[in-house]
Amino acid sequence: MKRDEIGTLCLKRLELIDRLDSGELDKENFILENYKMIAAYDRVGFNVLSVDEGIMKYHYFNTLAKKKMLEADALEYKDPRRSNQLKNEGFDYYIKKDRITLNMLALVDYQGVNAYYIHMNSKSLEGSIYEIDFLEFDRVILHSKDRKILHKLKTAGCFQGVYRDSCIKGYVNTKVY
């Protein structure tokens, strides 16, 4: 992912979000369209020099994780062993996504960031997923379950110990896998 491509990718990302918001795309097709957008990139590093670069790298790893989870779900009963392998690959991408999140937070020095737990329809996810809103940037909303990130958000004083509806609650509460 080259720096001169970041702006174009950010615009495409926002277009896909608009299509999701308008109902033109459902969650699964949103994931697949995002995958088409990022599939050409195979070596994405962890260095973050701007929020735009960070959001695209976050988006890259998050999309790969969700795509692996979709593939795993499709094979859950046909090939359980392969399904578990794909889930583990997805979890590895989520870990990489969280590394990007930490780098983005460090870049902005935890300023202009608001974080809180979000209400989830899933009982198993309630109380574990929190949202990180980069207030000064258009639709830069991240999610995580990572305890290290949570600790750093609390230490920086930008984590509210309350539950709120997610800014994108329709998306986060729609199950696809």
pLDDT for 3 beyond 80? no
Highest mean pLDDT among 1-10, 40-49, 151-160: 151-160
Q: Higher pLDDT residue, 103 or 166?
A: 103
- Whole-number pLDDT of residue 169: 65
Owner of token pair 């990022």 = 38
How large is the average pLDDT for residues 25-31?
90
The CA–CA distances, whole Å, from 17 to 29, 49, 97, 105, 125 equal 11, 23, 19, 22, 23
Owner of token pair 């926002």 = 14
pTM for this structure?
A: 0.91
